[in-house]
Amino acid sequence: MKTFTPIAAAILLAASGSAFAANNTANLTQVGVGNGALANQQGPTTNNNTINQFQGGFFNGAAAVQAGETGSLITQTQLGAANGAFSLQAGGIANNAAILQVGAVNGAATTQVASGLSSASITQVGFFNGASVLQAVSLLSSASITQVGIANTASAVQVLSLGNSSTINQLGIANNADSFQSGILQSSSMTQVGLGNDADTRQIGLFNEADILQVGLANEADVSQLGLGNSGSTAQFGFLNDSYIGQVGIGLTASTTQLGGFNNVLVGQVGLGDTATSLQIGFGNNGLILQ
């Protein structure tokens, strides 16, 4: 009695799972040793999608899945060793996901569910970096993470999102940044240069803007916004500085700047049209603004 060869079994499996899928394209190039890649474009209403995967090096792993997706693109490029990349697009249209990894033992994941005309991008250069992007029920939104260094971590989440943008840039070692957005036409930007800095932005509402810049060692910054047309920005230069901005309302503006070490400031705003500015230069200063 004859049995299926592995190739024949794979063809049979693909044929059985790809009913109603049409006009999809998958391109895979592998150069090196022990690399592994998966491209899955099966399932009903999975049409006109493209997956491009390139692996150069040793023992890299990549998986790309498009299910119930139309007209979308996934690009995964790995150069180095033991990098891991995962991208999922499901139930959406005309989305774009891109992962570029240069180095070793970096990990990246993009997930786009029930979204349209949205983009997710992760670039990692270095070692042991980790990054993730989640877009769920997202339209015309973008999230970008760039990591250069060692052991940096970052995440960007956009849920019930229309026209939101999130950008995270990290240069250094063991920095962490997290962005959350739900709403319409909000922007978040975080840049970290140094070692062990931590930054977070949270935005729920419309037309909010958050910006964080950290240069130094072990600084912490947080901007949280709920409402309409609020603006919060933080700049930190030094070490072990801590800044928190919390805004609930409409048209609120807050800015904090810290130069030195061990400075601490908290700005809390609830209302309409208030403005707060804080500047700390030196060491061990403490500030509190409530409006």
- pLDDT for res 11: 44
Among the candidates 166, 185, 204, a domain finishes at: 185
Q: How confident is the model at residue 19 (pLDDT cuts 50, 70, 90)?
A: low
3-state SS class at 80: strand
Whether pTM > 0.85 for this model: the answer is yes
The two structure tokens encoding residue 133: 């992007």
**pLDDT, tens digit, for every residue of 146-197?**
999 999 999 999 999 999 999 999 999 999 999 999 999 999 999 999 999 9
Contact call for residues 76 and 85 (beta carbons, < 8 A): yes
Is residue 78 domain-shared with residue 214, that is, in the same domain?
no
- pLDDT for res 21: 77
- In angstroms, the CA 245 to CA 275 distance is 12
Phi and psi, residue 52, nearest 5°: -120, 125
pLDDT at 8 over 50: no
Q: Is residue 10 part of a domain?
A: no
Is residue 21 domain-shared with residue 136, that is, in the same domain?
yes
Average pLDDT, integer, range 196-217: 98
Is residue 82 domain-shared with residue 142, that is, in the same domain?
yes
| Structural domain span for residue 85 | 17-185
Is residue 118 domain-shared with residue 148, that is, in the same domain?
yes
Q: Is residue 83 part of a domain?
A: yes
pLDDT at 5 over 80: no
> In the predicted model, what is the mean pLDDT of the chain?
94
Residue 195 amino acid letter: L
Contact call for residues 262 and 236 (beta carbons, < 8 A): no
For residue 210, CA distances in Å to 200, 204, 286 come to 10, 12, 22
Q: Specify the residue for token string 């319409």.
A: 184
Average pLDDT, integer, range 136-146: 98
Is residue 51 domain-shared with residue 114, that is, in the same domain?
yes
Q: Is residue 3 part of a domain?
A: no
Q: How confident is the model at residue 93 (pLDDT cuts 50, 70, 90)?
A: very high
Q: How confident is the model at residue 9 (pLDDT cuts 50, 70, 90)?
A: very low
Q: Is residue 7 part of a domain?
A: no
pLDDT at 239 over 70: yes
- Give percent of the chain with pLDDT exceeding 90: 92
Q: Specify the residue for token string 């006009």.
A: 23
Is residue 172 domain-shared with residue 217, that is, in the same domain?
no
pLDDT at 287 over 50: yes
Q: Is residue 80 part of a domain?
A: yes
- In angstroms, the CA 245 to CA 287 distance is 12
Among the candidates 185, 207, 232, a domain finishes at: 185
Q: Is residue 12 part of a domain?
A: no
Is residue 37 domain-shared with residue 53, that is, in the same domain?
yes
Domain count, the chain: 2
- In angstroms, the CA 252 to CA 233 distance is 11
Which of 11, 142, 18 has the alpha carbon at shortest distance from 68? 18
Is residue 250 domain-shared with residue 176, that is, in the same domain?
no
Is residue 181 domain-shared with residue 243, that is, in the same domain?
no
Among the candidates 185, 201, 231, a domain finishes at: 185
* H-state helical runs in 95-198: none
